[in-house]
Structure 1
Amino acid sequence: MAESGANRYRIRSETNMVDQSSKHETTVQVDFGGEAFLETLNNNDVEVVFINSGTDTFPIQEAAAKYQAEGKRTPKFILCPDETTAVAAAHGYFNATRKPQVVLVHVDAGTLQLSGGLHNAQRGRAGMVLCAGRAPMTFDGEMDGSRSSSIHWTQEQLDQAGSVRNFTKWDYELRRNENVHHVMQRAFQVAASEPPGPVYLMLPREVLMEKMETTQNLPTKRYAPPTTPQADAGQLKAAAEALSQAENPLIIATQSGRNQSSVQAMVELAELVGAPVISESVHLNFPTDHPLWAGITGNQYIENADVILAIDSDVPYIPINAKPNPDAQIIHIDIDPIKQSIPMWVFPTDSLMHADSAKAIPALNEMLTEMLSEADRARIEERIDTIKDRHQRSRDEAVALAQEHGKQDVITPQWLSHCISEAIDDDTVVLDETVTNSGHVSTYIPRSKPGTMYRSGGSSLGWAT
């Protein structure tokens, strides 16, 4: 799933201007907690809820049915036959919209069923608000929603959220309807903040069924995610100087294409310094039909580079396969520079910058444009011509190999990928979950438009289907 047309090239902008009318809380009439929860979704412009329902989610479903019958706005509820389907769909919608998506599952069982899809969302940096029911807290009928089935005992865990805490940025339990608006706004804010990711919220049935008269809606603009950082100017200038004088520069990108405006900026950077670009795309970071695109691994470039610029990369290279030259200067720009959720991240760097690449790369390009002399540009252009010739020969050899495979009795990955490329157009969105055949997909199915290539970012299969 992806945006099309002008929206695909939307450039994210930030402003300090705030609509004064949006600064006030508003009071909304509701009849019970499920409606109060639904109001927070409406207030955050949630369009869809991916749901796998249970005995604990029905107050929200009843609220949505009531709103629909009364002609009120409500998100569309998309029934998912399995929780992994729900989280994968939310992942896709987030990639297309860059807005946190909502998933609703039932208690501990539904939470555990998120499993591999949640891993993909974490590593793919997909913002989503994962909501799960909680076994009712009361069992003598003290409140509406008390336990009414044997499963309400067996589904209660000592720490339900603990099963997903390694994979989420934040977790909480809604305990009172009086602050449902604050709890949900916090959930959306954390999920959307860079680097985005899943958050987890438990919803007790008694709270969702509690009778109410009103609830509050917060001014969402006042609870927006924080602005993202720009790279240190001195470090960025030093990076520009190193790249401008490099004999064998290399760029490695993994997640920069999440900001679609970054793709053109990356092309400009590569052409300014004459650097091949390795891109194992969670998003399309660099056009794979560009003469400077060097594939998804490019081990030979890693070993020979004298200056390496890694951008938003969790694993810039695999040391057992290829290591940079010990004398190479390594620069890393990342919105998540120390990888707190990856216990062992030990890639050496000479400059590790905490920055939004959508801001840092254009600034780096400006510095390079001013810094490069005519002699530098001539030297770089000569290097680009050499790389172009080498890559064109590789492309010609790859096409010839695919066509030769087309004469065989079996369908090989090369021939299949080549045929798919012949059948689709530039706007087709490719979801790549081929794992060991990803190199063939990238080689034979070129993508040039931002938002037309995605991988999950994780390693749990089934995401694309």
Structure 2
Amino acid sequence: MTAPTPRTAAEAFLLCLKQAGVDHFFANPGTDFAPLIEGYAHGALQGWDLPRPIPCAHETVAMGMAYGVTMVTGKPQAVMLHTNVGLANGIMGLLNACSDQVPMLLFSGRTPLTEAGRDGRRDAGIHWGQEMRDQAGMVREATKWDYDARYGDQIPALLDRALAIAESAPQGPVYLSLAREVLGEAWPEGQPLPRRRLSAATLTRPAASAVEQAADNLANAKRPLILCQRSGTDAAAWQALVGLAEAFALPVGEHWSIRPSFPTNHPMHAGFAPSAAVAAADAILVIDSMVPWIPAHTDLADDCRVIQLGADPLVSKIPVRGYPSDLSLAGDVALTLADLHAALADRLAPNSAAVVARRETLTAAHAKARQAVMAIAESGGGSPMHPFYATLCINRAFGPEATYVSELALNPAAVDIQRPGQYLSHAMSGGLGWGVPAGMGVQLAKPGEAVVACVGDGSHMFANPVAAHQIAEALDLPLLICVFNNGIWNAVRRAALNMYPDGDASKANVMPLTSLRPSPDFAAIAKASRAHGEQVLDGQDLPAALERAKAAMKAGQPALLDIAVRLP
């Protein structure tokens, strides 16, 4: 087959994206997109293989969908937004991607640079109103790299560099702005598209001496602890961690887990609220965790040794982060855990008296904790129902084969998490509206598989549900959205209670600035885009409603359940 011959820089841009392995082009278009729209139309006539163009009626949905695809495929996707105004709307999603080290290729147009004489020049009033001296300044702190393309023929090299930087550890988003004149430039006649010449920098393993020191600390500890947060989509890291914990009876706790990294039914799992274990520990291995515990709520023992492991164990982008790190191991998590396992085996026998006793103690504690969670969940029916009960019903309906995306809704303690990537949660940055778009991205990347996105009612409002449902229908994405509706901004309420536990707000019938009443009819909004929608007010009705939603999904229809829950 003859290699495609682009006519413009815009066409070269689209061809290079696909050449680099980018499958989707999520776009919230504007007047700056004219060369790209022409390029897609011409490419279709020529039979070119280009990234799938996905028009998104809101930037939050575009950013969240790209994030969701990348979480489950590992492949960065492209998002392009409209000049400065679209970019501003997408910044919240960018902050989430930056916080969670998600590689993403973010582009935006720039208002045309010229007033006359060039293809792509200004021809609408907004082209003066949208001009900025430093448009990239809006996103610079949340990206690994940014640039403003000056010439059309430099775009392939810029893409090559952008992608290599985005995929180098620690990964993250990059940004390139593209003025309309640049995209509309004629591609040099007869000039082939250059092949990629840059590869991402890969992580290896820490020095053997550092691993030996970590093994000494863990082997000599009487109360060792492992803390994880976001390595749960790495299958090799998951397996290495399970093997390490099993062999040496090392408890694994997960505070505010973004991507759970350990099976919840495993006797070495120490739960999702490990504050007591943190306070008691004399050695802690922190794996890829920005916030392994809350210092204001938990004091470490004076003799506790802390080891931090990850691509960037000190989380260098965060200005203030005072977690101790007596030993910092920068490296690939799976490779480092394998080395640590081997080093521990030289120091600690799996059948030693200390390990056997610890294993028995942890097994009993795990069983007791699971029973307590299940007791709350099983007894949590009624109207409104306990969120643990709703979580349990959803988990029983879909099982471990489904992928669960949760934003302030599902409690992972009540989910039977058995495999890497089964449960995905929101970034520490907390930009709301992530859950439903991310779930849509996961469904786009995993057609034919069950995807359940569970969100709080406030989170769903932030997701721009009208736009989200329209796109889900357009793309035939049969995911289930479960809205955990408690009618309140609960994270804000908790923050006020944490700071002023005996304050006047704690005694108010309705705490100021926290109410989300009256609640919208979320099911009706879903039905407006031909989705299956129901409101579930009583816990006894939830199992049957879930079965009806499953039937709709199997028929190719998106579904939404608006579930009335009480405060836990």
If asked which structure has higher relative contact order (CA below 8 Å, sep 6+), I would say: 1
Question: Contact 2:349 / 2:355 at 8 angstroms: preserved in 1?
Answer: no
CA deviations on 1:94-129 (whole Å, 9 max, x unpaired) are 111111110011100010000221111111111011
What code does the residue aligned with 1:401 have?
A: I
Deviation of the 1:357 alpha carbon: 0.9
Decide whether aligned partners of structure 1 residues 411 and 246 sit closer, same or farther in structure 2, where only a CA change above 3 A counts. same
Question: Contact 1:249 / 1:273 at 8 angstroms: preserved in 2?
Answer: no
Determine if the alignment matches structure 1 residue 257 to structure 2 residue 223: no
2-structure distance, mates of 1:209, 1:218: 19
Determine if the alignment matches structure 1 residue 444 to structure 2 residue 419: no
1-structure distance, mates of 2:383, 2:12: 61
Determine if the alignment matches structure 1 residue 238 to structure 2 residue 209: no
2:166 partner SS: helix
Aligned to 1:421: 395
CA deviations on 1:123-144 (whole Å, 9 max, x unpaired) are 111101101000111102x210
Counterpart selection for 2:38 from 44, 59, 62:
62
Aligned to 1:347: 323
1:182 partner SS: helix
TM-score by length of structure 1 reads 0.90
Aligned to 2:435: 464
1:344 partner SS: coil
Deviation of the 1:29 alpha carbon: 2.2
Aligned to 1:219: 195
1:200 partner SS: strand
CA deviations on 1:390-434 (whole Å, 9 max, x unpaired) are 11112112212222222x332111211111121112111111111
Aligned to 1:8: none
Decide whether aligned partners of structure 1 residues 336 and 450 sit closer, same or farther in structure 2, where only a CA change above 3 A counts. same
Aligned to 1:328: 304
2-structure distance, mates of 1:351, 1:259: 23
2-structure distance, mates of 1:62, 1:317: 51
1-structure distance, mates of 2:404, 2:190: 46
1:313 partner SS: coil
Determine if the alignment matches structure 1 residue 93 to structure 2 residue 93: no
Decide whether aligned partners of structure 1 residues 231 and 296 sit closer, same or farther in structure 2, where only a CA change above 3 A counts. same
What count of residue pairs does the alignment treat as equivalent?
432
Deviation of the 1:261 alpha carbon: 1.2
Counterpart selection for 2:113 from 124, 130, 137:
137
Determine if the alignment matches structure 1 residue 296 to structure 2 residue 272: yes
2-structure distance, mates of 1:307, 1:338: 18
CA deviations on 1:180-217 (whole Å, 9 max, x unpaired) are 11111011111111111111110010011112224443
2-structure distance, mates of 1:425, 1:255: 22
User: Where do 1:3-402 residues align within 5 Å?
Assistant: 29-140=5-116, 142-212=117-187, 213-220=189-196, 222-279=197-254, 280-373=256-349, 377-402=352-377
Decide whether aligned partners of structure 1 residues 270 and 374 sit closer, same or farther in structure 2, where only a CA change above 3 A counts. closer
Deviation of the 1:27 alpha carbon: 7.8
Report the RMSD for the aligned CA atoms in angstroms: 1.6
2:407 partner SS: coil
Decide whether aligned partners of structure 1 residues 242 and 388 sit closer, same or farther in structure 2, where only a CA change above 3 A counts. same
2-structure distance, mates of 1:409, 1:373: 52
- Percent identity (aligned): 34
CA deviations on 1:27-82 (whole Å, 9 max, x unpaired) are 85221111111121121021111011000012112211211122111111111110
Moved over 6 A (4+): none
Determine if the alignment matches structure 1 residue 431 to structure 2 residue 405: yes
Aligned to 1:4: none
1-structure distance, mates of 2:431, 2:330: 28
Question: Contact 1:249 / 1:274 at 8 angstroms: preserved in 2?
Answer: no
Question: Contact 1:83 / 1:114 at 8 angstroms: preserved in 2?
Answer: yes
TM-score by length of structure 2 reads 0.74
Question: Contact 2:229 / 2:288 at 8 angstroms: preserved in 1?
Answer: yes
Unaligned runs of 5+ in 2: 437-568
What code does the residue aligned with 2:317 have?
A: S
Question: Contact 1:28 / 1:214 at 8 angstroms: preserved in 2?
Answer: no
2-structure distance, mates of 1:148, 1:268: 63
2-structure distance, mates of 1:316, 1:381: 27
Counterpart selection for 1:410 from 369, 375, 384:
384
